[in-house]
Amino acid sequence: MTIPAVSHIEHEPRQSRFIARVEGEQAVLEYGKQAGRLTITHTRVPAAIEGRGVAGALTRAALEYARAQHLKVVPECAYAAAFVQRHGEYADLVER
């Protein structure tokens, strides 16, 4: 696996998303925020940069944001749900 050049992930709270730009492509994680919860609804990574850890970097950024804001996480997105299962350090954030 090639490690992506994700040097910066931007949080755009007004658009309820995190974005990463890699090699001229833009990847996005979208979420909803309400009542003490951050619901991860979708991750989208262009085919040109798939399989390089970009979705993981976005998901990690969203989870760290949730932790800092004392929010529970609802991973509706299949990728985010699988990520949380693989990374037990975020299990305490998942709303059960």
Burial of 29 (0-12, 13-18, 19+ CB in 10 A): buried
Please tell me the predicted confidence (pLDDT) of residue 5.
60
**pLDDT value of position 32:** 98
Report the half-sphere exposure of 64 (CA within 13 A, side-chain side): 9
CA distance 17 to 2: 25
Question: Which domains are delineated in the chain?
Answer: 9-93 (3.40.630.30)
Rg (CA), the chain: 13
Residue 7 has what pLDDT? 65
Mean pLDDT per block of 10 residues along the chain (96 residues) reads 66 97 94 96 95 94 98 97 96 90
Whole-number Å distance between alpha carbons of 83 and 80: 5
Predicted pLDDT at 96: 73
Q: What is the dihedral of CA 76, 81, 83, 89, to 10 degrees?
A: 110
- Residue 1 confidence (pLDDT): 44
- Can you give the pTM of this predicted structure? 0.91
Query: Distance between CA 31 and CA 50 in Å, rounded?
Result: 20
